[in-house]
Amino acid sequence: MFTMLATVLTATTLTSACSNAKEKNDSDSNHSETGTNLTESGFPIVNEAVTMKVFGCKDPNQAEWGDVLIFKAYEKMSNVKLQFDEIPSSGQGCDEKRNLLFASNELPDIFLRAGLTNTDISRYGQQEQMLIPLEDLIDDNAPNLKKIFEDYPEVKKSVTAADGHIYSLPSVRLQSSGRSDKIWINKEWLAKLNMEAPANIDELFTVLRAFRDNDPNGNGKKDEIALGLRDIGMVYSTFSGSFGLEQQMGYQLNIEDGQARIWLADDRFKELLQFLNRLYSEKLLWQDFYAGDLPSWRSNLSQALIGMFFIQASDPFLQVENQFTGMAPITGPHGDQIYSATGPIAAPIGTFAITRENKNPEAAIRWVDYFYSEEGSKFFQYGVEGETYTMKDGKPVINDSIKNDSRGFMASLGEVNLVPGGGFPYVVTEKYGNIVENDKVLELNQYIEDYLPETVLGAPIFDKETSDRIIPIKADIDKYVKESVARFIIGELSFDKWDEYAATLKKMKIDELEKAYQAAYEAMK
């Protein structure tokens, strides 16, 4: 689930880059045609309408972007017209089209929700200069984003590349509930079995065995799934904090005494996998968790057949959400009680970028800056007051016709905004919150918020030389670890082979990968 604290690899790189940043930005801004057409502040952004070409990736739940309510309303407010070229995000089509645009130098004016990766930002920003630096534009024309950078320095660090420039903008989630999976447990099952939520590993096994054996849903069938992890990726986050393992810098690593330590071969990780193997072998863990069958998982969830699970929001099972309550993370075998299923404040970071083809970059940065304000966040998420939402006790409330649409909430919301699928450049604050997180979700967040890591660092934007060296290493390691982890948990690979597994990671240059993260961490500091 979650990115990005961008950082440089050496202090000298940062010093050199910063000294050249202003000169480069001045050069890049010479092609601007906005001039006196740009208004001083507020709306409209420009006196005479300007048109910009936009490329992005469309979530299946989103309407055609030209028909989305907020875009039509915002065009009238801003006087900025957008010509959309959106490609379905399912499959490889959008990635292929984005890469083709770069390769053919047929760039749009703006990349919006286009799935720009750290590698894209490094290559097309730092190296090929197809994406322009944004920091001076932000200083001069984006007061909302500038204030976020000042109040939350980690957000600015998250989008700063190895050369000291900012080439893309993030989604910013200031509300902690928007960054974390919650721990859900079936309170009706607990009540029927006269049990309480577990607090440690032994109690967890006791509760899950009762869920498995005692027909808590009362239908006379053994159809209960005691613990439902939805995919193999959940292995690294849901219980890892109970074993002292965190998700820092967008990877499986801890920061301890100034050292970035990848823990994929550590004994603590071995203990975590042995714990999950016990759960799987006793049929307490969903037997298909490693298959990535999300539709089946959601089907079981919507029928309240899962006793305990982890998810950020309740939109896939709204009809049965009140059967569940929250719980704190369990205490692990060494006394650890961290909750690692959370991400950095700024993620993802590649949601918005301006290309060198854009003749109105000041207008473009003003256009996006509104969404980093309280009012802009409300507008993006809820639409137009009186048309798609009403205010109640100072809070926006989406219309029932949208919330209860027979097609599903996300499909209906996709006609209002681009919330479905995430990846839009905007801020989520405490004042208006996240539209997909209802009161139930906020209630459950209270169970975990005291156990979240104080800071979660996002993935660094490495320079090209480092990226070229470590990306193949990381890809090979990740593939091997994913396969091995599944085999350890389901019992196909004996833990007697752990030393062999660790030795293989060493041969695959995990130490070199760790050194790259260490250099990035030191430079960021």
91 and 58 inside one domain? yes
Flag whether 166 is in a domain: yes
- Determine the pLDDT at residue 175: 87
CA atoms within 13 A on the CB side of 291: 9
Average pLDDT over every residue of 216-244: 95
- Determine the pLDDT at residue 363: 98
3-state secondary structure of 204: helix
- Determine the pLDDT at residue 92: 83
Average pLDDT over every residue of 86-93: 88
210 and 161 inside one domain? no
318 and 357 inside one domain? no
Determine the Cα–Cα distance for residues 53 and 71; give it in Å rounded to an integer: 14
61 and 210 inside one domain? no
- Determine the pLDDT at residue 31: 55
Using the structure block, give the residue that is written with the tokens 């980093």. Answer: 372
286 and 357 inside one domain? no
197 and 51 inside one domain? no
Flag whether 440 is in a domain: no
Average pLDDT over every residue of 458-487: 93
Flag whether 450 is in a domain: no
Q: What is the DSSP letter of 431?
A: T
Flag whether 438 is in a domain: no
Residue 188 structural domain: 181-341+462-525
- Determine the pLDDT at residue 463: 86
- Is the distance from CB of 512 to CB of 470 less than 8 angstroms? yes
Phi-psi region of 489 (alpha: psi -120 to 50; beta: other; left: phi over 0): alpha
CATH code assigned at 389:
3.40.190.10
**196-205, 287-296, 367-376, 384-393: lowest mean pLDDT where?**
287-296
- Write down the mean pLDDT value for the chain: 91
Average pLDDT over every residue of 123-147: 96
Flag whether 4 is in a domain: no
335 and 275 inside one domain? yes
- pLDDT of 9 above 60: no
Contacts of 198 (CB under 8 A, 6+ apart): 204, 206, 207, 327, 330
- Is the distance from CB of 346 to CB of 154 less than 8 angstroms? yes
- Determine the pLDDT at residue 292: 84
185 and 171 inside one domain? no
Percentage of the chain lying above the pLDDT 70 cut: 94
Helices 498-507, 510-524: inter-axial angle, 10-degree rounding: 70
46 and 154 inside one domain? yes
pLDDT in tens, 382-422: 999 999 999 999 999 999 999 889 998 899 999 999 999 99
- Determine the pLDDT at residue 18: 39
Domain end residue (candidates: 431, 448, 478) = 431
Higher-confidence residue of 475 and 454: namely 475
Q: What is the DSSP letter of 422?
A: -
CA distances from 323 to 190, 192, 306, 404, 408 (A): 10, 12, 11, 19, 20
- Determine the pLDDT at residue 32: 67
pLDDT in tens, 146-196: 999 999 988 998 899 888 899 999 999 998 888 899 999 999 999 999 999
Determine the Cα–Cα distance for residues 309 and 103; give it in Å rounded to an integer: 43
Flag whether 437 is in a domain: no
Determine the Cα–Cα distance for residues 241 and 453; give it in Å rounded to an integer: 9
pLDDT in tens, 429-442: 989 988 988 889 99
15 and 158 inside one domain? yes
- pLDDT of 7 above 80: no
362 and 332 inside one domain? no
Using the structure block, give the residue that is written with the tokens 């919507």. Answer: 302
Average pLDDT over every residue of 88-115: 94
- pLDDT of 2 above 80: no
Domain end residue (candidates: 388, 415, 431) = 431
pLDDT in tens, 17-74: 333 444 444 444 445 677 789 999 999 999 999 999 999 999 999 999 999 999 999 9
- Determine the pLDDT at residue 25: 43
- Determine the pLDDT at residue 340: 94
Domains held by the chain: number? 2
Flag whether 447 is in a domain: no
Report pTM.
0.81
Question: Which tokens go with 168?
Answer: 């893309």
Flag whether 439 is in a domain: no
320 and 406 inside one domain? no
